[in-house]
Chains A and B, each alone.
Chain A
């Protein structure tokens, strides 16, 4: 009975959420709130706040995703069997009544029971967590992992955060953390396999997309889990969620591809126009963030994008620097680039980084 009512509420709620006409959105909410829910055979009247009952699941967004756009990677969302919803307040309030009922008098003693928060009134068993709470998070994470950076994110921050909050307060942090790590690991392993299957000419670009998409997803996933980060990962594990998640990409994607990627990058930098300078810059900077030691594999390449990683210039090598520069200039002339104005020498260097000049970029990648 409860289930069906919840479902109904959710459906209406989702519909409202989907409504892009925001002027009506508020009105719709109010309109929805005024009459008591039709299927309310449970004592909804016990909750002081009908508004508080609604807690839509993230699968809301998963549902919409299907028709909206093809997903570049990742599995299709699981059939939405139990991810429907759990609503909290309706049953919470009922439980509160049941809990408070046996207390004889409203003395300060029973306050301990009755003052228990509405949020945390219900005990979330591990089964509840597995059947209701995690699927909700799972759906949201799926969507965040697979959308493109900059896309509109239809997920409600408040709802997912509340879900994390409740799980943490009900001692499911350990399980939730392990589920999160497992989920993202699986996702990254799939990403890695897909990269492996890429043809060499698309490999660099695809790696760049995977890296950008993952880092973009972290921008949203990490804030959703800040409650768990602060009150479990930081305090109990002495780690940081963002670092952990970045490390997962290093271990499950970057490390597996670095040896095939690096030769391609080196080759690309000597071949103008093969990859866009921004892609090159992203990848190199990204790899450096993931593991600074990778600089050793191609110090010259990394030094184009990361300041101060090569040893400082020394006077004794000045003639060698000059020879290198002359060689570069000769090659440029051979390739059809004129020597140009001496005064633009510095400016050309700078241009290497903003990718607007083919001349500069060809030099920049050398």
Chain B
């Protein structure tokens, strides 16, 4: 009895006995109360109360907290997983009761334990509670979790409600999403062989990451989903640091509409909603938090994917179906350049405005281009590779031969600049990505027209207008895609 003094805590007419020693160990509230010298600090024999009255807390929440305290703070596994069955309805209530009781009584160990209890089902609610109770660590843990599962969080049924109550939430999530280290990632059907990364010479991976300090490629511990293997002509784009691979055709020449997204924060592929239209050799462009799948083989329609709804909807179609064209986002609009219509060369730059859902002819070019790649930095579009043909010039000599060129087009001044060429490298079938200060390009040498393809990996530095070559190409392979993603910092994983 004397060894273990028990305190009766009363809430809503019910009493809960708790060991005073444990209470003092775990709860800053009770520690401060007994030090304060105030009425409740005295024992019953010295004129103090016989029970410690609490008000306003939820009884189930308090019970969980007192259980935790009684267990000496040691508890393994889920705090909230105790009651199976009625998950949603009661869990939210229980959670809020628990966080409140733990905050009110300042049970630091329990609040710390909550950091590891963040789940998809409770992250939004926990984040809100952390804000209300001023728990920066928990808020940080929730933000980190929600950033890592951004699109899934956007799809939570009560997200819209919370987002209206907290207008800055989406922005903070987006910031939490865009953390980590920007890393070049290459995917493709890599072949094994002497040039493959060492540990994978026998069994080639489908995803690699580039380490810039050692200039080496390392396998990512994730592979393409099986149904993406051997798919060609797909559309790829990065939206909210998810790499989307959409549509394309299988070697059996079937077109597909399936869509997958790779989440670098969790190193996982997820299948998302399929497009309404099967399409291949089209362009996938991310604009204003949405994806646009533009055209395709003999297809002029355009579909828009919104991650909040996980669904595709048709928007205004291209004026004509286009082949061998390219597109990119620039200043919140989509620009389509080059390629062929069903009848002739496409000499127009088309511009799509997402807010008005309208395509318009932005400008007419003097030079025809096809099969190029496009990226943009602020108001400048970089056009990498492709086949150029100057209209009116009757010589189809060296100019139109396969070489790697970089041009720029400024959407404000409408000025074209022919920036750089490299006659020994191919400008066709290349893949490139904007990364740090340049455009990283994977292509091949054109000097040897033998069957032995010579892969090259180089960078066009947009600030110094110069080429930089890298020694190591990831591996021989087909169907390569290079992309720049934020990977979690090592310390966080």
Residues of the B chain whose Cβ atoms lie less than 8 Å from the Cβ of A26: 50-51
Residues of the B chain whose Cβ atoms lie less than 8 Å from the Cβ of A115: 92-93, 95-97, 125
Chain B proximity mask over A71-111: 1 for CB below 8 Å, otherwise 0? 00000000000000000110000000000000000111101
Known interface pairs A118-B58, A223-B33; A155-B39 also in contact (CB < 8 Å): yes
Chain B proximity mask over A29-69: 1 for CB below 8 Å, otherwise 0? 00001000000000000001111101100000000000000
Q: Which of B28, B37, B92, B95 has the most CB of A within 10 A?
A: B37
Q: Does B54 reach chain A (CB closer than 8 Å)?
A: yes
Partner of A111, one of B47, B57, B92: B92
Contact between chains at B53 and A158 (CB < 8 Å): yes
Contact between chains at A52 and B55 (CB < 8 Å): yes
Interface residues of A in 1-41 (CB under 8 A from B): 17, 20, 22, 25-26, 33
Interface residues of A in 105-124 (CB under 8 A from B): 106-109, 111-112, 114-120
Stretch in B126-134, B169-177, B433-441 with 4+ CB within 8 Å of A: B126-134
B66 CB → nearest A CB, Å: 16
Residues of the B chain whose Cβ atoms lie less than 8 Å from the Cβ of A120: 100, 132
Q: Does A165 reach chain B (CB closer than 8 Å)?
A: yes
A161 to B29, CA, bound (A): 9
Residues of the B chain whose Cβ atoms lie less than 8 Å from the Cβ of A162: 55-56, 104
Q: Does B89 reach chain A (CB closer than 8 Å)?
A: yes
Q: Does A231 reach chain B (CB closer than 8 Å)?
A: yes
Contact between chains at B38 and A220 (CB < 8 Å): yes
Residues of the A chain whose Cβ atoms lie less than 8 Å from the Cβ of B41: 157
Q: Does A239 reach chain B (CB closer than 8 Å)?
A: no
A263 CB → nearest B CB, Å: 36
Name B12's closest neighbour in chain A (CB-CB). Answer: A49
Q: Does A258 reach chain B (CB closer than 8 Å)?
A: no
Total interface residues on B, using CB and 8 Å? 49
Which secondary structure dominates chain B's binding surface?
A: helix
Interchain Cβ contacts within 8 Å, total number: 140
Interface residues of B in 26-40 (CB under 8 A from A): 28-29, 32-33, 35-40
Chain A proximity mask over B33-72: 1 for CB below 8 Å, otherwise 0? 1011111110010010111111111100000000000000
Residues of the B chain whose Cβ atoms lie less than 8 Å from the Cβ of A231: 103, 133-135
Contact between chains at B89 and A106 (CB < 8 Å): yes
Contact between chains at B36 and A224 (CB < 8 Å): yes
A154 CB → nearest B CB, Å: 6
Q: Does A226 reach chain B (CB closer than 8 Å)?
A: yes
Residues of the B chain whose Cβ atoms lie less than 8 Å from the Cβ of A232: 134
A222 to B96, CA, bound (A): 27
Q: Which of A54, A88, A169, A173 has the most CB of B within 10 A?
A: A169
A175 CB → nearest B CB, Å: 15
Known A157-B36, A173-B134; further 17 A-B contacts with Cβ < 8 A = A17-B39, A50-B13, A51-B11, A52-B11, A52-B55, A115-B92, A115-B93, A116-B96, A119-B56, A119-B100, A158-B52, A220-B36, A220-B38, A227-B106, A230-B28, A230-B106, A232-B134
Could you name 27 residue pairs across A and B whose Cβ atoms are closer than 8 Å?
A: A20-B47, A22-B49, A51-B12, A52-B11, A109-B161, A112-B125, A112-B128, A117-B56, A117-B97, A118-B58, A119-B100, A153-B36, A153-B38, A155-B38, A157-B33, A161-B33, A162-B55, A169-B133, A169-B134, A173-B134, A219-B36, A222-B32, A223-B32, A223-B36, A231-B103, A232-B134, A235-B134
7 smallest beta-carbon distances between A and B, as pairs: A231-B134, A49-B12, A223-B32, A108-B88, A111-B92, A223-B36, A119-B56
